[in-house]
């Protein structure tokens, strides 16, 4: 049986770490682990902390750190910049799946045709943490606050930058580059012509994700799969 992995906010681990209530409950009540049993922790920034349960309470669990190693971040870097969508559940599904694939950064965009801008950062982070742990990774994707597309596009940086849109135009098929990559995915009504033009003026290349018209979250997941797993 594999050693269970948990998340901790601790950036500079001491010899003893007190886990939060959620992790403690899972250890004590779900896994029914006992004093002395081994587990792993990560801060989502590459730390792999080997530890053993030292003390347990009804809602608490304290562990003794035995070893700390650093896991190198997966390369190449992949950023998915994607419009928020009306259906929050579908957007949360997208966050979960691309985290499992190992993307580096997810940028929530507010575009001209974005219909819903409500964003709960704490809930979204919890989804990322859960997906990171489930997929046995040690790096949490960056998830900045939502940003206006027109403000973001001139500052976006990567070795290769693409914009996926549905308008008639000469578009290349996307292939995973050797360096860092960034692709932006528009809202349910697609990017406007002015947004596409703005992206092209800032070094983005138009790209197609296939002949089928995809939902926003599906397009984001397809792009992530091509760049991370292709």
pLDDT, position 139: 98
**Predicted TM-score (pTM) of this structure:** 0.93
- For position 162, which CATH number holds? 3.40.1280.10
Same domain, 101 and 213: yes
pLDDT, position 55: 95
Same domain, 111 and 223: yes
Residue in 1, 82, 86 with CA at minimum distance from that of residue 37: 1
Same domain, 51 and 152: no
Same domain, 131 and 216: yes
Same domain, 133 and 218: yes
Same domain, 82 and 63: no
Same domain, 49 and 131: no
Same domain, 83 and 173: yes
pLDDT, position 230: 67
Number of domains in the chain: 2
- For position 47, which CATH number holds? 2.40.240.20
Domain hosting 58: range is 5-70
Average pLDDT by stretches of 10, the chain with 230 residues:
90 86 93 96 96 94 96 93 95 97 97 91 96 97 97 96 88 82 96 96 94 92 89
Same domain, 63 and 123: no
Same domain, 22 and 82: no
pLDDT, position 74: 87
Domain boundary among 70, 101, 117: 70
Same domain, 185 and 102: yes
pLDDT, position 167: 85
pLDDT, position 117: 81
Domain boundary among 27, 51, 70: 70
Same domain, 88 and 126: yes
Domain boundary among 70, 102, 118: 70
pLDDT, position 60: 94
pLDDT, position 153: 98
């Amino acid at each position: 049986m594999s050693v269970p992995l948990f998340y901790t906010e601790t950036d500079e681990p001491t010899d003893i770490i007190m886990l939060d209530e959620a992790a403690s409950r899972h250890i004590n009540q779900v896994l029914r682990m006992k004093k002395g049993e081994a587990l792993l922790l990560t801060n989502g920034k590459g730390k792999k902390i080997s530890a053993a349960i030292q003390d347990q309470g009804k809602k608490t669990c304290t562990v003794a750190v035995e070893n700390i190693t650093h896991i190198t971040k997966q390369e190449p870097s992949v950023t998915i910049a994607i419009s928020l969508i009306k259906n929050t559940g579908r957007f949360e599904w997208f966050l979960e799946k691309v985290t499992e694939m190992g993307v580096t950064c997810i940028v929530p965009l507010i575009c001209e045709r974005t219909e819903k801008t409500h964003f709960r950062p704490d809930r979204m982070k919890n989804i990322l943490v859960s997906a990171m742990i489930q997929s046995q990774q040690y790096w949490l994707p960056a998830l900045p606050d939502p940003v206006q597309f027109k403000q973001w596009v001139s500052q976006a940086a990567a070795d290769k930058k693409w914009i996926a849109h549905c308008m008639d135009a000469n578009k290349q098929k996307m292939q995973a580059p050797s360096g860092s990559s960034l692709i932006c995915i528009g809202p349910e009504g697609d990017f406007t012509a002015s947004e596409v033009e703005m992206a092209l003026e800032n070094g983005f290349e138009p790209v197609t994700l296939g002949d089928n018209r995809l939902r926003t979250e599906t397009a984001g997941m397809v792009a992530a799969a091509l760049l991370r797993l292709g």
